[in-house]
Amino acid sequence: MKSTVYRYGIYATLTIVGLSWGVFFLLKNLGQGLQEAAGYLSILLAMIFIFLGIRHFRDRVNGGYLSFSQGLKIGVLIVLIPAVAFGLFDILYTEVLNPTWKEDYYSKYIEDLRKSVAADKLDAAIKKAEKEKEMFSNPLFQFLLMGGTVFIIGFIVAIISSLTLRRSKTAIA
């Protein structure tokens, strides 16, 4: 089981970091909304390796048998690897590679607020955005948020994969 978890966890990590790297650096000219959508798509594409890892375990390691709990355990262990890696990558990107990213993001966010929020509610919306900016400036919070996002999406994929790939020993005989 360990080799399956490590192999597919590393594949997912390489996929999520590679695609995110491409989104961050190659698609700079896209708007923030499109970059964010591309980021979520990167996460989803990387989570394919959870399904593939569970299926590999069932078919090649466990003799064609897989209980829901086995599949879920393998899926959760696989997703932990890219979740941690993506949390660290996000900190590396925002703190070292592009330290102005947060300021650029919030400037654009405030600009969008000015266009879309009624004048009487604008001050409250800007104060709320400033509080959020302060919270997101904490690297630990940023790591937990980004790693947690990947983990939650991966956990959902692990549940679905475990349900669809489960096979009892009696079904094989």
Q: CB–CB of 22/126 below 8 Å?
A: no
Kindly provide the b/e burial profile for residues 89-120, where b requires at least 16 CB atoms within 10 angstroms of the residue's own CB: bbbebbeeeeeeeeeebbeebbeeeeeeeeee
Give me the pLDDT at residue 173, please. 52
For range 134-150, the mean pLDDT: 92
Q: Please state, in angstroms and rounded to a whole number, the distance separating the CA atoms of residues 85 and 158.
A: 18
Q: How long a stretch of residues is the chain? A: 173
Which residue range forms the structural domain that includes residue 156?
2-172
Give me the pLDDT at residue 38, please. 84
Give me the phi and psi of 117, to 5 degrees please.
Answer: -105, 140
SS (H, E, C) 90-126: HHHHHHHHCCCHHHHHHHHHHHHHHHHCCHHHHHHHH
Tokens of residue 15, six digits: 């996929």
Number of domains in the chain: 1
**For a pLDDT cut of 70, what percent of the chain falls above it?**
97
Residue type at 139 in one-letter notation: P
pLDDT tens for each residue of 61-120:
999 999 999 999 999 999 999 999 999 999 998 889 888 878 888 888 888 888 888 888
Give 53's pLDDT tier (boundaries 50, 70, 90): very high
For range 114-137, the mean pLDDT: 85
Checking if the pLDDT of 172 tops 70, the result is no
Kindly provide the b/e burial profile for residues 144-167, where b requires at least 16 CB atoms within 10 angstroms of the residue's own CB: eebbebbbebbbebbbebbeebbb
